[in-house]
Amino acid sequence: MESATAGPDFQIPGVHQGLAFGDLDNDGRIDAVVAVLNGQAKIFHNTTRNGNHWILLKLTGTKSNRMAIGAKIRLTAADGSVQYNHVTTSMGYAGSSDSRVHFGLGANAVAKEIQIAWPSGIQQVLRDVAADRVVPVTEP
């Protein structure tokens, strides 16, 4: 995101500390929250418009930790492209982000395959998962 086109709030200098990312309204667009020194937190609601697909995975561990922190995910989109991500909330100092894992899928309306390596060592594979939604996944 280029700050010159990101909206007027990105043009205002300020003293901020701590940053967190997450999809606050479950619309597939990642929003941001920043802490402001001596002020109220600022919410940057992402209103970008495009036709891209997305998927947001909400993992729940059973043998692994309940938030599934450390789970590794390999997603193959319908066009064969591959992306990797993992479950974390870590953002650095004074920030903790959404533990759900977001993938942008571009023109792909389906994730052909989602491989999950849970911290317990359990491997799980989901196939043909429809996009544009939050997908809850419980450790088998």
- Residue 40, Cβ neighbours under 10 Å: how many? 7
Could you give the CA distance from residue 33 to residue 35 in angstroms, rounded to a whole number?
Answer: 7
| 23 binds Ca ion per the rule CB under 5 A | yes
| 25 binds Ca ion per the rule CB under 5 A | yes
Could you give the CA distance from residue 127 to residue 108 in angstroms, rounded to a whole number?
Answer: 14
Nearer to Ca ion, 25 or 79 (CB): 25
Q: Cβ 25 to Ca ion, closest distance in Å?
A: 5
| 43 binds Ca ion per the rule CB under 5 A | no
| 27 binds Ca ion per the rule CB under 5 A | yes
Buried b or exposed e, range 71-96, using 16+ CB within 10 angstroms = bebebbbbeeeeeeeebbeeeeeebe
Nearer to Ca ion, 98 or 139 (CB): 98
Q: Cβ 29 to Ca ion, closest distance in Å?
A: 4
User: Which residues in this chain contact Ca ion in the complex, by CB under 5 A?
Assistant: 23, 25, 27, 29, 31
